[in-house]
Amino acid sequence: MQRNYELGAEVRHFCWDNSLAPLLEIESGDSVLFQTHDASDNGVQRDGSFIDQKRAGHALTGPVYIKGAEPGDTLVIEVLEVVTGEWGWTRFHSKAGLLRDDFNEPYLHLWEIGGGREWAEFLPGANIRVPLEPFCGVMGVALPEEGQHSTIPPRRFGGNLDVKQLTKGAKLMLPVGVEGALFSTGDCHAAQGDGEVCVTAIETTGQPHFRFDLIKGKTLKAPQLWTGKPASPMAGQEGYFVTTAQNNDLLEASKDAIRFMLDYLEEERGLSRQQAYVLCSVAVDLKISEVVNAPNWVVSAFLPNALFS
């Protein structure tokens, strides 16, 4: 018999640690409705102020123990629904992000995303709307290595993957590293571009609802996923404006592709460079267009034209 559970965010953790006691034990086939704080542990306030929570990692809800899960198995997480909070934020500073050397001052942008909206207005009167396609940036299981491990880098066992296609209907498959898997989640995003270039998306609280299934004896080398819809189905309805960059270093090509997009958004759309960087992080998709014609590789940045309709 499949059961449905709820797990609140009263108890959170901020690292991967396989010694953490599970908050909930479930069977394969059961579902859990999670409550999550945003990535800052709700440190960013709706009025734009910031409370430093002194956290070194994402605020995660869990862990959940899946009975029968053992190393060498695969945990399948089906995304039944992801409901966001009423508002969200996007923030960058000079110590993180793709263009960390291009900006000296921190910047914060606030969004209204509740009330059943499918789109969020970027700026009053600017006629720029970002499609809302919520998902959880962090979905992972405990590492087999002992001790505390940062939630910031993505890992073989999932974690901070930031795969924006993990929306309603998708399935994420993770290798199990410890008994019970010890699944946790958080870092809910209302919208994000592939790359999340300024280091944040539209960050918000959330209520992700997942169903868990166990595949015994199936071993994965890294996370895999199924998604039943194209990337950015709402944003791609009217085509794209695309900037490209060529370099023998993919990271440098990625930086230049975004810089060229910032130039376009400043010159043609009237945004400040800070506003353009935020918009790129939540709506522009970075793509590797070519990696076989040495010595230079091509990275492209895709801006959906539908944002300006």
Domain boundaries along the sequence of the chain = 4-226, 235-308
Residue 210: per-residue pLDDT: 98
Rounded-to-integer distance, Cα 91 and Cα 274, Å: 10
Residues 6+ apart with CB under 8 A from 79: 135, 166, 167, 168, 169, 170, 171, 172, 208, 209, 210
Rounded-to-integer distance, Cα 273 and Cα 156, Å: 35
Residue 56: per-residue pLDDT: 81
Q: Which CATH class is domain 4-226?
A: mainly beta
Rounded-to-integer distance, Cα 254 and Cα 242, Å: 13
For the domain bounded by 235-308, which CATH number is listed? 3.10.28.20
Pairing mode of beta strands 60-66, 24-26: parallel
Q: Contact 11/139 with Cβ under 8 angstroms?
A: no
Residue 75: per-residue pLDDT: 98
Flag residues of the chain having pLDDT under 70. Answer: 231
| pTM listed for this prediction | 0.96
Rounded-to-integer distance, Cα 14 and Cα 160, Å: 12
Distance of CA 91 to the CA centre of its chain: 14
Rounded-to-integer distance, Cα 32 and Cα 67, Å: 14
Q: What are phi and psi of 305, to 5 degrees?
A: -65, -25
Residue 237: per-residue pLDDT: 80
